[in-house]
Structures are given as C-alpha cells and as structure tokens.
Amino acid sequence: MIVHILSTGDEVVLGDIADTNAARLCKAMKELGLSVERITAVGDEVEQISSVLMEISNKADICLVTGGLGPTSDDVTAPAFSRAAGVELQTDRQVLTNHNGTAPGFYTTLNRCLFFFMPGVPAEMKMMLEKEVVPVLKERYGLDGAILVERLTVFGLGESRAGSLLNGFHEQFPGLRLGFRVDFPVIEVKIILPHVSGTMETARSLMDQAKQWAMDRLENKVVSGKGLSLAQEVGRLLSAQGKTLAIAESCTGGLISSMVTDVAGSSDYFLFSAVTYSNEAKIKILNVREKTLLDHGAVHERTALEMAEGVRLKAGADFGISTTGIAGPGGGSPEKPVGMVCIGLAGDSVSLAKTYRFTLDDRAMNKTIFAHTALDLLRRHLTGLLKAS
Amino acid sequence: MIVHILSTGDEVVLGDIADTNAARLCKAMKELGLSVERITAVGDEVEQISSVLMEISNKADICLVTGGLGPTSDDVTAPAFSRAAGVELQTDRQVLTNHNGTAPGFYTTLNRCLFFFMPGVPAEMKMMLEKEVVPVLKERYGLDGAILVERLTVFGLGESRAGSLLNGFHEQFPGLRLGFRVDFPVIEVKIILPHVSGTMETARSLMDQAKQWAMDRLENKVVSGKGLSLAQEVGRLLSAQGKTLAIAESCTGGLISSMVTDVAGSSDYFLFSAVTYSNEAKIKILNVREKTLLDHGAVHERTALEMAEGVRLKAGADFGISTTGIAGPGGGSPEKPVGMVCIGLAGDSVSLAKTYRFTLDDRAMNKTIFAHTALDLLRRHLTGLLKAS
C-alpha cells in the first residue's frame, strides 16, 4: 500500500513553520502498519496543488492532504481537487466531521488513489485523523498490522563508528532496517521491521534477537535499550536503587542539573547542585581545600574529587558528581587545553576522578559532551560496568 | 526560478521528527528573494530517492537536498543521485565543506536542475547552507547580497501580539519586510531590506528609522536591538556596570545557570548558583528560614526573596536571583497550580519578589519560560525599567 502525504500552505514553503502535521500523520500511519513513501508540501496556489494531486492520484493508494479547507481566500484545496478531477462537483465525496472547528473535511477517490482532505490547523487535523480518517482506513483495508521499532540510545561513539560496529546487520537480519539519528553527542540507533509478515510473536522475537545482536556489538556504549535519554536512564537507575544525587558543576555551568531536572519526578532522587565557577565558591560551598587549588589548580582530578565529595556531604546524598574543565573559547593553556575536563564521582563505595580531552572548538558543544560524560560515568557505576578505584 | 527542497531520512517519514531543515531552507531562500515551489520528503531508500531526484531534475532549477550523506548504511543519497544520473562517478561535483561535522556536501547539475546535497544534522546543514550554499547561489544567479537585516529579540509577547503591534509597518516602510521567528519563549523580529537600491547610507538610515519605529511599538518587550539572546544581554549589562551575579534555582533546575554560562566570558560576572530542589537544601545552603517554609511553603514570594538574598550573601555577589515554582507535570494544587513561579531579585538597592502564572502544560516549556522571566526581571532592573520596590 503506497501512502503519500500532501501538506498545503504558504506558511510551510515560506519557512514560517515546520510541518508538524506531516510528522503526526506519519506516526499514525506507522501505527496502522503503513509506511509513508513520500511527503510533499506546496504553497496555497490552485495550479500547484492541482498538479501535485494529479501526480499523486496515479502513484499512491492513499493520500492524506492537510490545509486549505477553511473560509479565507488562501483556502484553495477543494477547488484544486475539482480541477485535478476535471469535475465541478464531486458527488462521491464523503464528509469527515471537524470536531474541533468549523470547516469539514472529505474523502474521495481519484484514479487509483483514495484522498483524505483535512484542515491544516494541527488540533483540528489531529482530531479528524483520529476520529474519522483512521477508522475509515482500518475498515477499508482491514488494517491491524504494525511496524515494529526498537530504539537504542548510544553515547561514546561517533555515527560512523556505530555504523561500522553494526556491519553485517543486514546480512544477519535481511527483513530489518537500521536507522541512525544524531542528537549530539548521543546517537539513536533504530531497528525497524517495516512489515510484519508472520505472527506478531515471531516478529517480536526477531526484533529481540536483532536488538541483542546490536547491543552486543555496541558493547557498553548503549545507554538505554528502550530509547531513554541518558538523564532518564540515570534517574531510572537511581530510583530503582533508592539512591540520591548531588552535583557540583564548574565548566558545565548548570547543564547537568538542568538535564537531570528535565526528567519528571527527578525530585525523588536529585537533592542539590552547586554551580561553582569561582575558586571562592569551590572552597566556601564545597569545602574544596585551598591547598588543592593552589597546588593543582581548579582543573585537576584532585579538585574534581573534592568537589564531588564536598557536594555529596553538603547535600547528604548517596552520590556526588562533579565537573571542572575548560569549555572555551578562552581559558585554555598547553597543559590544560580547551576541551579538557576532570570528572569526579563520590559515593559510599566509590571515590574516583577521571580526565577526558575532547577536541571540539565550541563552548556549547563542550558543555554538552562534558555533561553527558559525567552522567555516563555515574550510569556505568550504577550498572556495575565501572570498576571502583 | 523554480526551487524545490528534498528531505531524506526514515526519521521524517516515520514521524519521529518534524522537518525543521525544510523550514530553515525555505527561510533562507526567502531571504535571497526566491520562493520554494515544493518540498518533498522520502525515507532512506535508494530507489525512492533516485526516482524523486529524477523527477525534480526535470521540474526545478534549484534543488536543496538534505540527509543521507554520512558514513552509515542508511546514508544513501549519493548512490541514489548516481543512479538517477546514470553514472558511477560524478566528475563535475563541487565539494561543499562541512564546518560542523565530517561528511562533506556537494553540488552538481542533472538535467535542468542544480542540486545541492547537504547533511541532515541540523547544525551541520545550517552552517553549510550559510557558509557554502548561499554564496554559490548569490554568485551564480546574481542574487544581490546587499540584503540589510536588523534583528530585535523580543520576550514577553506572543507572535500574533507582536505582529499586531507592528501593524502599519508596511505602509510606513513600503520597501522593507518584516520576519518573525519564534524560538520559544523568545521571538526574533527581523526587519529586512531585500534589495538596496540607492546608496548604502540612505539604506542604513531607513533601517534605523524602521528599527526605532518597531522598538517604540514593542515597548519594553525588546530585550536586545542587536539580536543578542536574553542571557547575552544580561551579561553585557552586568559587565558594563561591573556587577556580579549569583543564582538560586528550584523549579528551573539549573537552566538559568546553564543559559548564563553559555555566554563566553560569563565567568567575569557569574559567581555561583545553587540548585536547591529540597527544603533542606534551601535552608542549609541558602539560609532560607524554616519558619518561612512552614508558614508559606516553598512556592511563595517570601521564600523566593530569601533564596535570592541567601545566594547573594553566600556568593558575595552584587545580585541574587531565584526561582521557586511548579514546572509539572506533578506537584500542582488549586492554589499553586502547574505553571506558577515566584521569582526573587536581591541587590544593594533592590529586594523584591513577583509571582507569575503560565498556562503551559509542559515541564520543559515551563522551565524555559520561568528561566527567561527571571533573567528578564534582572535585565529590566539593570536597565532601570523596573522600579525598585
């Protein structure tokens, strides 16, 4: 079944909005077991819309059209369809009720394709899709299939390295596809089963095998086998183990705390964090020893360790993590260059600090990778992947 | 000039992401005076991509393609183009440098169309577009580079309200255009002079008038007349006045600190911040009085004030700002609903707290708007727009 999506509206081709309607429609189709072959967007011009409707009518079996159904002068989708169909009035149109607005939609056939016309206002479209369009599709095509997707969150590998570690996947699992999405510095690896052919049980078991195969090859770089973010996974581990966390941030400037508190329910395990840019704050708030700072400087494993232990004691938390490093653009030196960070981890049974050097020449990217590295150190400790030292 | 956009990637047709690349490309074309006729999106399948490239090559003059250039197995755009062009190696390909990543882009001609191939990772695509593609287009097609753009950073107004406050702009300044870009919760209002016709001096003076006109109408909602972010503008003001800042965050969870420290050089004025989720931390670190918490609860102006004063004293800073509120999804009550935040501001000559209520039903959006509101309170104080109370 070939499915196309057509979005109409000047706001899309002028770049005023990203086309979120198309993303929602794709998701709905995926849930029906249909995959969308193509998305097209054009502005509010009768000729353009009419010509693309004609093209689609010969290529696709189903086309979901949004936009241009309202009462104003830029609402030209219905006239465009009439022009494409070469008729003034479509007598075989079935009405789609608009539960959230005034302009109704409709569906009808042209050439090989069944067209659904919906409003462009996202809330109206969403409701019409769920209440009207999906039931028609289910009934017409007896759809109860599904695309299966597994998501692995990977940290600590570049996209190309992840790709080469997974070489051989397609030979091993010919019916499945791999997808890679980079959300720096994390990669989401997707394992996709586009069409369930046998039973759902067989399909699920195939997906489990493929997931295990991929996780084995990506080793301990898989943060979550369920698509959780690093902060979500750390939160899940802390909650499961009944542990609490405090954070001391220098170069990451509050970013770790913000990532941790983006997770709903984080108040269950996150107690306190201190962003200590100045040496004074490190001494006064975290009880870092003045001698440590004098002997080694702020960017040093010894300082990181005292920061982690200091914040943990201050907050009465089970774990303390810390960062001190050089995000740039200024502040670097030959011994302590931009991109260098010391990360501390302190707990009842752990007390360590590590130094990492990244070669990114961008303050925001350095903050981001430093923050992920710190959370990942804690994650590996919580999962037993890290040997305490 | 007929311009098409082609986005490739399973993540688009599976509905995992909205196609923000296409929106950005449309905007860039608009700024060059070109309008996009059609946007197409397909998944990572060689045949699909190849056939749509062939279609476009006969329809469009310029096509901007994103996605599928990386090193992994789902990166199939280049092979798809070779298939469409019927050649193994494109000898007339020109390389487009990737300033933010490893996979280079390229541009080349097929049939009537000049194709530009860029990565799908938004940051890489954006940089390649600006530094590589736009200059090529300007040179090839004589698109006059002398566009003048002024950027106003606006906080505290919705897009439609900003738009209606600027009603009459086009009558007043017929040669200029207005652009609006929402980067929640901030709006960037752009004043664009698409083609400089007379002298540059006359053009600049016209732009200055238009900017002043717009700033007058948007009143004190203009954070920066130079396109600075709110954190950059606050940093600029603090530096200019030789003042320092400490921050106490509850519901914003470190986001304000992270925004402040995203600005290079922020260590000049930012001393310390405490993320105090628990009451214990508020008492122990910030010296909030236990009685205040017992009498009023954590989310109260009195608490916010003591937090701001406490962190200021602790850090020895000139100013302290604080947030305590309910970001959701849990924790709300009829008296203190999700979206309510108390913000404190303390300094030598200022000591105040204010309550704000937002109706966003999203944790991350609440954190974001709370953080901006706190920084904006400080900004208005620093610019004298806020009367001390």
Q: Where are the domains of chain A?
A: 3-141, 148-224, 230-382
In 3D space, the residue among A46, A54, A39 whose CA is nearest the CA of residue A10 turns out to be A46
Question: Distance between CA atoms of A244 and A272, rounded to whole angstroms?
Answer: 10
Task: Identify how many contiguous H helices and E strands chain A contains and give both numbers.
Answer: 15, 15
Q: Give the pLDDT score at B90.
A: 58
Higher pLDDT pick, B267 / B86:
B267
Q: How is residue A141 written in tokens?
A: 């095509």
Q: What's the first-to-final CA gap in chain B, in angstroms?
A: 59
Question: What kind of architecture, by CATH, is found in domain A148-224?
Answer: 2-Layer Sandwich (3.30)
Our CA dihedral for B360, B362, B363, B368, rounded to 10 degrees, sits at -60
| Nearest-CA distance B257 → chain A (Å) | 5
In a mutational test of the A interface, the residue from B2, B8, B50, B73 whose CB has the highest number of chain A CBs within 10 Å is B73
- A230-382: CATH homologous superfamily? CinA-like (3.90.950.20)
B28 touching A (Cβ < 8 Å): yes
CB B190 within 8 A of CB A16: no
Residue A96's beta-bridge partner residues?
A105
Q: How many CB pairs below 8 Å do chains A and B form together?
A: 280
Q: Which residues contact A363 (CB under 8 A, 6 or more apart)?
A: A327, A328, A329, B262, B264
In a mutational test of the B interface, the residue from A258, A267, A285 whose CB has the highest number of chain B CBs within 10 Å is A258
Residue ranges of B 82-111 with Cβ closer than 8 A to chain A: 102
Q: CA nearest A317 in B: which residue?
A: B281
Amino acid sitting at position B317: A
Residue B353's beta-bridge partner residues?
B344
DSSP letter for B58, please. T
- What topology is assigned to B3-141 in CATH? Molybdenum Cofactor Biosythetic Enzyme; Chain A (3.40.980)
Of the candidate ranges A269-278, B133-142, B324-333, the one whose mean pLDDT is the lowest? B133-142
CB B362 within 8 A of CB B328: yes
Question: Distance between CA atoms of B347 and B245, rounded to whole angstroms?
Answer: 9
Q: Give the pLDDT score at B15.
A: 87
Q: 3-state class of B249 per DSSP?
A: strand
Higher pLDDT pick, A113 / B361:
A113
- Asked whether residue B111 carries a pLDDT value surpassing 50, the answer given is yes
Question: How much is the average pLDDT of B13-33?
Answer: 89
Q: Would the CB atoms of B273 and A254 count as touching at under 8 Å? A: yes
Question: Distance between CA atoms of B300 and B284, rounded to whole angstroms?
Answer: 18
The model's pLDDT over B273-302, given as tens digits with 9 standing for 90+, comes to 999 998 999 999 999 999 999 999 999 999
Q: How is residue B17 written in tokens?
A: 């992401």
- Asked whether residue B146 carries a pLDDT value surpassing 60, the answer given is no
Give contacts of A273 with chain B, Cβ < 8 Å. 254, 274-275
Q: How is residue B111 written in tokens?
A: 């049939």
Question: Distance between CA atoms of A246 and A322, rounded to whole angstroms?
Answer: 9
- Whole-angstrom CA distances from A366 to A60, A276, A323 are 46, 17, 12
Q: 3-state class of A41 per DSSP?
A: strand
Q: Would the CB atoms of B39 and A19 count as touching at under 8 Å? A: yes
| Nearest-CA distance B83 → chain A (Å) | 19
Q: Would the CB atoms of B38 and A48 count as touching at under 8 Å? A: yes
Whose structure tokens read 């490239």? B53
A270 touching B (Cβ < 8 Å): yes
Q: Would the CB atoms of B275 and A274 count as touching at under 8 Å? A: yes
Give contacts of B2 with chain A, Cβ < 8 Å. none
Give contacts of A264 with chain B, Cβ < 8 Å. 328-330, 363
Give contacts of A272 with chain B, Cβ < 8 Å. 274-278, 281, 285
Give contacts of A179 with chain B, Cβ < 8 Å. 10-11, 14, 44, 74
B199 touching A (Cβ < 8 Å): no
Q: Which of B12, B121, B280 sits opposite A182 (nearest CB)?
A: B121
B320 touching A (Cβ < 8 Å): no
Give contacts of B316 with chain A, Cβ < 8 Å. 280
Q: CA nearest B248 in A: which residue?
A: A274
- Whole-angstrom CA distances from A256 to A275, A283, B215 are 10, 21, 36
Q: Which of A16, A41, A271 sits opposite B277 (nearest CB)?
A: A271
In 3D space, the residue among B46, B28, B51, B386 whose CA is nearest the CA of residue B220 turns out to be B386
Question: Distance between CA atoms of B122 and B124, rounded to whole angstroms?
Answer: 5
Our CA dihedral for A104, A110, A112, A115, rounded to 10 degrees, sits at -20
Q: Give the pLDDT score at A89.
A: 54
Look at strands B340-347 and B319-325 and give their pairing.
Answer: antiparallel
Q: Give the pLDDT score at A90.
A: 58
Give contacts of B41 with chain A, Cβ < 8 Å. 22, 38-40
Question: Distance between CA atoms of B223 and B233, rounded to whole angstroms?
Answer: 7
Q: Would the CB atoms of A147 and B14 count as touching at under 8 Å? A: yes
Please state, as a whole number, how many other Cβ atoms lie within 10 Å of the Cβ of residue A115. Answer: 24
- Asked whether residue B91 carries a pLDDT value surpassing 80, the answer given is no
Give contacts of A298 with chain B, Cβ < 8 Å. none
CB B286 within 8 A of CB B298: no
Higher pLDDT pick, B18 / B355:
B355
Q: Would the CB atoms of B123 and A170 count as touching at under 8 Å? A: no
B367 touching A (Cβ < 8 Å): yes
Q: Would the CB atoms of A15 and B24 count as touching at under 8 Å? A: yes
- For the B231-382 domain, the top CATH level (class) is alpha beta
B253 touching A (Cβ < 8 Å): yes
Q: Give the pLDDT score at B387.
A: 66
Please state, as a whole number, how many other Cβ atoms lie within 10 Å of the Cβ of residue B138. Answer: 14
- Mean pLDDT over the full length of chain B: 91
A247 touching B (Cβ < 8 Å): yes
Q: Which of A42, A264, A314 sits opposite B329 (nearest CB)?
A: A264
The model's pLDDT over A227-285, given as tens digits with 9 standing for 90+, comes to 999 999 999 999 999 999 999 999 999 999 999 999 999 999 999 999 999 899 999 99
Reading chain A (389 residues) residue by residue, the pLDDT tens digits are: 899 999 998 888 888 888 999 999 998 998 888 889 999 999 988 999 999 999 999 999 999 999 988 776 667 898 899 888 887 655 678 899 988 878 899 999 999 999 999 999 888 899 999 999 999 998 888 776 567 889 999 999 988 899 999 999 999 999 898 888 888 999 999 998 877 778 888 999 999 999 999 999 998 899 999 999 999 999 999 999 999 999 999 999 999 999 999 999 999 999 999 999 989 999 999 999 999 999 999 999 999 999 999 999 999 999 999 999 999 998 899 999 999 999 999 999 999 999 999 988 889 999 999 999 999 999 999 999 886 44
Of the candidate ranges A137-141, B49-53, B228-232, B350-354, the one whose mean pLDDT is the lowest? A137-141
